């Protein structure tokens, strides 16, 4: 079973009006938890690696861990670079065997974003790798860059059409009100579904990607706060909104914060309840289980990708 591209996966998802989870991975326990969940649910799966993850774990460790997951699980998995910030990192990942890369030129003016994305698309396609790009800008924290609410901009539907036509990109990340991190809304959660619908109607064959799509599960926030953490007021995208986004053309849903919260809640709880234990396996085991349970819930009850493996 190999690493695969997302091309067929996205076609099926778009047609079936469900979404594929793209989960950020940083170490072995995170990978194992996610992959076990996807296997039990017989769900297609995207594992994504950020520049920060490559720096933390080293590129070779992460690549080999994902290869181990493919071998051990027998699943076909997409290995994707998340938020590639320049041509060089995209090229490095493509040369390294990634099957999908994101070039995130969203901080640049429109024409520069197009030129950069086009350059990555040309190289990636010559190697059989698919490309995600971003138009519009999400608020929140991303690789140590904090985009303020003021700097954030929603995706312009007409620009999206021009962007996809001129770059030849395979999928497009859009900004409709989600943001990275655990503090997504101050008041009532609100996403611009009208905008999403418009983009989908104008680009019926382009898989859309929703970044900043963690739901920030209250049970994990509560456990973190109960066991010594301090994350008051954390709030994510309600599950119903993710379901609706999938119905309206979103094929890829990016999830990192929920993994972090699940893992941290489990570790905090274990260490508080077992103060004399110092064997990392004893607290990383429950952390892996928490990730598995959370991912399984998402696949089954939110993304709708259970039993969609071909
Ligand atoms: O978009 C993401 C990764 O690219 C993750 O978003 P969250 O912070 O909502 O998990
Ligand atoms: O979008 C950002 C992801 O959550 C990755 O975060 P990171 O850059 O801290 O690894
Ligand atoms: Zn971005
Ligand atoms: Zn993102």
What pLDDT, on a 0 to 100 scale, did the predictor assign at position 215? 98
Categorize the per-residue pLDDT at 149 as very low, low, confident or very high, splitting at 50, 70 and 90: confident
Report which ligand 2 atom has the smallest distance to the Cα of 50.
10
pLDDT over 70 for what percent of the chain? 98
* Mean pLDDT (whole number) for 256-271: 98
* CATH number 3.20.20.70 given to 7-303: yes
Task: Tell me the sheet residues that pair with 133.
Answer: 103, 172
Ligand 1 probe mutation, 147, 211, 253, 258, most atoms within 8 A of CB = 211
- 285-295 in b/e form (b: 16+ CB < 10 A) is ebbbbbbbebb
> Atom 2, ligand 2: which residue's CA is nearest?
142
* Mean pLDDT (whole number) for 125-136: 98
**Which residues have any ligand 2 atom within 6 Å of their CB?**
24, 50, 52-53, 82-83, 142-143, 180, 256
* Mean pLDDT (whole number) for 156-184: 97
Judge residue 130's burial from the number of C-beta atoms within 10 Å of its C-beta, 0-12 exposed, 13-18 middle, 19 or more buried. Answer: buried
Residue from 76, 82, 156, 258 carrying the catalytic annotation? 82
Categorize the per-residue pLDDT at 190 as very low, low, confident or very high, splitting at 50, 70 and 90: very high
Say if residue 141's pLDDT is above 90: no
Say if residue 1's pLDDT is above 60: no
Q: What are phi and psi of 183, to 5 degrees?
A: -125, 85
Categorize the per-residue pLDDT at 143 as very low, low, confident or very high, splitting at 50, 70 and 90: low
Helix (H, G, I), strand (E, B) or coil at 105: coil
**Closest C-alpha among 201, 234, 205, 207 to residue 220:** 234
Q: Where are the domains of the chain?
A: 7-303
What pLDDT, on a 0 to 100 scale, did the predictor assign at position 142? 66
pLDDT tens digits along 64-85: 999 999 999 999 999 999 999 9
Judge residue 78's burial from the number of C-beta atoms within 10 Å of its C-beta, 0-12 exposed, 13-18 middle, 19 or more buried. Answer: buried
Say if residue 148's pLDDT is above 80: no
What pLDDT, on a 0 to 100 scale, did the predictor assign at position 99? 98
User: Using CA atoms, how far apart are residues 22 and 25, in angstroms rounded to an integer?
Assistant: 10
256 is in an annotated binding site: yes
104 is in an annotated binding site: yes
255 is in an annotated binding site: yes
User: Using CA atoms, how far apart are residues 231 and 300, in angstroms rounded to an integer?
Assistant: 27
Strand 46-50 to strand 20-24: parallel, antiparallel, or no bridges (unpaired)?
parallel
Say if residue 137's pLDDT is above 60: yes
Which ligand has the shortest distance to the CA of 181? 1
Give the residue, 310 or 157, on which the prediction is more confident.
Answer: 157
pLDDT tens digits along 14-36: 999 999 999 999 999 999 999 99
Q: What is the largest CA-CA distance in the chain?
A: 60
Q: 296 in ligand 1 pocket by Cβ < 6 Å? A: no
What pLDDT, on a 0 to 100 scale, did the predictor assign at position 147? 73
User: Using CA atoms, how far apart are residues 253 and 17, in angstroms rounded to an integer?
Assistant: 13
Categorize the per-residue pLDDT at 139 as very low, low, confident or very high, splitting at 50, 70 and 90: confident
User: Using CA atoms, how far apart are residues 181 and 69, in angstroms rounded to an integer?
Assistant: 27
User: Using CA atoms, how far apart are residues 12 and 3, in angstroms rounded to an integer?
Assistant: 18
Q: 80 in ligand 1 pocket by Cβ < 6 Å? A: no
Concerning whether 82 is annotated as a catalytic residue, the answer is yes
Whole-number Å distance, alpha carbon 178 to ligand 4 midpoint, is: 10
Categorize the per-residue pLDDT at 145 as very low, low, confident or very high, splitting at 50, 70 and 90: low
Q: 206 in ligand 1 pocket by Cβ < 6 Å? A: no
Q: Which helix (H) or strand (E) holds 100?
A: strand 100-103
Report which ligand 2 atom has the smallest distance to the Cα of 53.
10
pLDDT tens digits along 194-240: 999 999 999 999 999 999 999 999 999 999 999 999 999 999 999 99
134 is in an annotated binding site: yes
And the tokens for 178? Answer: 């989600």
- 247-284 in b/e form (b: 16+ CB < 10 A) is bbbbbbbbbbbbbbbbbbbbbbbbeeeeeeeeeeeebb
Asked whether the beta carbons of 35 and 73 are under 8 A apart, the reply is yes
> Atom 1, ligand 2: which residue's CA is nearest?
142
Helix (H, G, I), strand (E, B) or coil at 47: strand
């Amino acid at each position: 079973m190999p690493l695969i591209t997302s091309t067929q996966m996205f076609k099926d998802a778009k047609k079936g009006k469900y979404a594929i989870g793209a989960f950020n991975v940083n170490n072995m326990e995170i990978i194992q938890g996610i992959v076990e969940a996807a296997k039990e649910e017989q769900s297609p799966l995207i594992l994504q690696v950020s520049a920060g993850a490559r720096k933390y774990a080293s590129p070779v460790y992460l690549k080999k861990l994902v290869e181990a997951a493919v071998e051990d699980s027998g699943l076909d998995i997409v290995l994707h670079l998340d938020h590639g910030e320049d041509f060089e990192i995209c090229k490095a990942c493509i040369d390294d065997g990634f099957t999908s890369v994101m070039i995130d030129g969203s901080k640049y003016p429109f024409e520069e974003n197009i030129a950069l994305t086009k350059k990555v698309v040309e190289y990636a396609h010559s190697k059989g790798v698919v490309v995600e790009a971003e138009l519009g800008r999400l608020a929140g924290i991303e690789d140590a860059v904090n985009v303020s609410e003021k700097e954030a901009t929603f995706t312009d539907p007409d620009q999206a059409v021009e962007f996809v036509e001129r770059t030849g990109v395979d999928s497009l990340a859009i900004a409709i009100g989600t943001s990275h991190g655990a503090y997504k809304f101050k008041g009532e959660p609100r996403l611009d579904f009208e905008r999403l619908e418009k983009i989908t109607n104008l680009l019926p064959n382009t898989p859309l990607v929703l970044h900043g799509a963690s739901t920030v599960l209250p049970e994990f926030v509560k456990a973190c706060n109960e066991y010594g953490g301090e994350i008051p007021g954390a709030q994510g995208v309600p599950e119903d909104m993710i379901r609706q986004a999938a119905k309206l053309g979103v094929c890829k849903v990016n999830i990192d914060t929920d993994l972090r919260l699940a893992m941290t809640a489990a570790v905090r709880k274990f260490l508080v309840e077992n103060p004399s234990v110092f064997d990392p396996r004893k607290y990383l085991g429950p952390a892996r289980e928490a990730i598995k349970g959370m991912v399984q819930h998402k696949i089954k009850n939110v993304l709708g990708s259970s039993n969609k493996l071909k």
